Amino acid sequence: MDTFLIRLLQLITSLSILIVVHEFGHFLFAKLYKIRVERFYLFFHPGFSLMRFKKIEGKYEFSFLSKNPPEHWKDYPETTMWGLGWLPLGGYCSIAGMVDETKSSKDLASEPQPWEFRTRKASQRLMVMVGGVLFNFILALVLYAAVLGIWGNSFLPLQNATLGMEFSEPALKAGFQNGDILLEADGIALEQINDDSFRKIVEASEVKVLRKGEEAKVAIPEDFMQQLLSARQGFAAFRFPTVVKKVTPGSPGDKAGLMPGDSIVGLNSVQTESFTDFASMLGQYGDSSILLSYYRSGNPGTMQVQLDSTAKIGFELKHPADIYPLKQINYSFFASIPAGIKLGVSKLTGYAGDMKYVFTREGAKSLGGFGAIGSLFPATWNWKIFWETTAFLSIILAFMNILPIPGLDGGHILFLLFEVISRRKPNEKFLEYAQMAGMFILLALLIYANGNDLFRWLFK
């Protein structure tokens, strides 16, 4: 299956899970307080729905590919209509007596009814609105705990990567050197490269590294994160040797006798310690015969390889994780629960802390839409990565929804908190206008973020 389709399928599957869980949080608290839920939809349905169903006199009735539900369904307002739309941009839970994206103040002109949202105490309405965010956060904790319990935590310790790191241009400008092994950030030991350690590095005053066997210190610029965002090159990646994983049949390397497991250490008598060194030299020798120096089962050797115009030898490279020893931490069922909670809280606090960069020029340019989200998933289906990514997206969805923007749960919560403090309900017409303004802001952000994706795709 095409890489794009695999990523798209993972994205739609993940978002479907997150939407259903989020809206079910609203649904559950609404039913708990005996509030009617009129509709529960996965995806939007302009024009028609792929499917609808509703419980009528104890039995479920279905409607497929219909513009409107069957007329007699209106006679049973006490049961929820469940539906599947065709436009995978979200979903909703329409709650009786509530101004939201599905209804305006005109729809609430009638006398308030005992089954409506607006007749409940402010504390109960607050719980209905918090329910979606709460369920997304709980889902993330459950998924992180499950991933740790099933697969554990496997990572490459920085000290095990003996060739050190390969740094981006902003990092080199700051004083890092290719081959440095990261040791500490402001005195805090660095064990691996992940989001947490990256934040420690960019927010540190000083980073200690091991450079050619001796310790050295790098002063971190105050605007280091802005420099990294502007360059869009990341911070660093593992530096690793050129070790052959698989040779392409019929390729120049295959014809010359290259074999899986060979470690290439030189090109035309010039030592190439890392794959980056090797690749940067190789591109110069299109339509040429080159001399490769290599080790096979610990024994040195050389071979002549005749390249074509593409200057490709024709082999698949071993990943650093297949070269350097990894550290594996396994968790029992009971140990995975607190570990998953700790990881989820760390992801949430880290993401919330990163929001300050969004309000910088470089940070705003780095915002991404569905393309950026889809790129978080791997090109081949991997269940561990899928569930880890879904958990992280659930954290993002929870955080973004709690922002005090009308149209989001946080906007409703803001007005409810105002009501609790002032003991006075906001005017429903005001809520409608605020909802419209919020939806305009969200639409503008959606267009801007996906526009950034398009711009990066066109000019990459």
pLDDT of residue 446: 73
pLDDT of residue 242: 95
pLDDT of residue 406: 81
The answer to whether residues 35 and 95 touch, using CB atoms and an 8 Å cutoff, is yes
**Burial classification of residue 96, based on how many CB atoms lie within 10 Å of its CB (0-12 exposed, 13-18 middle, 19 or more buried):** buried
Mean pLDDT score across all residues of the chain: 90
pLDDT of residue 105: 59
What Cα–Cα distance (Å) separates residue 445 from each residue in 51, 373, 459? 30, 15, 21
Q: Tell me the C-alpha distance between 127 and 417, whole Å.
A: 11
Q: Which amino acid is at 265?
A: V
Ranges in the chain, pLDDT < 50: none
Q: Which residues contact 85 (CB under 8 A, 6 or more apart)?
A: 41, 42, 43, 44, 45, 49, 50, 91
pLDDT of residue 93: 92
pLDDT of residue 290: 94
pLDDT of residue 324: 95
Structural domains in the chain, CATH included, are: 124-152+330-460 (no CATH), 156-237+322-327 (2.30.42), 242-317 (2.30.42.10)
- What 3-state DSSP class applies to 393? helix
pLDDT of residue 102: 64
Q: Which residues contact 17 (CB under 8 A, 6 or more apart)?
A: 139, 390
pLDDT of residue 366: 67
428-458 and 409-422 helices, crossing angle to 10°: 150
Q: Tell me the C-alpha distance between 262 and 278, whole Å.
A: 14
Q: Which residues contact 338 (CB under 8 A, 6 or more apart)?
A: none
Q: Tell me the C-alpha distance between 263 and 76, whole Å.
A: 72
pLDDT of residue 361: 72
pLDDT of residue 447: 79
Q: CB count, 10 Å around CB of 443? A: 11
Query: Tokens 């002549």 belong to which residue?
Result: 304
The answer to whether residues 407 and 442 touch, using CB atoms and an 8 Å cutoff, is yes
HEC string of 414-449 equals HHHHHHHHHCCCCCHHHHHHHHHHHHHHHHHHHHHH
What Cα–Cα distance (Å) separates residue 111 from each residue in 84, 99, 101, 107, 114? 31, 15, 21, 11, 10
pLDDT of residue 233: 87
The answer to whether residues 63 and 69 touch, using CB atoms and an 8 Å cutoff, is yes
Q: Tell me the C-alpha distance between 308 and 304, whole Å.
A: 13
pLDDT digits (tens, 9 = 90+) for 295-327: 999 999 999 999 998 999 999 999 999 999 999
Q: CB count, 10 Å around CB of 264? A: 23
The answer to whether residues 105 and 122 touch, using CB atoms and an 8 Å cutoff, is no
Q: Tell me the C-alpha distance between 329 and 335, whole Å.
A: 11
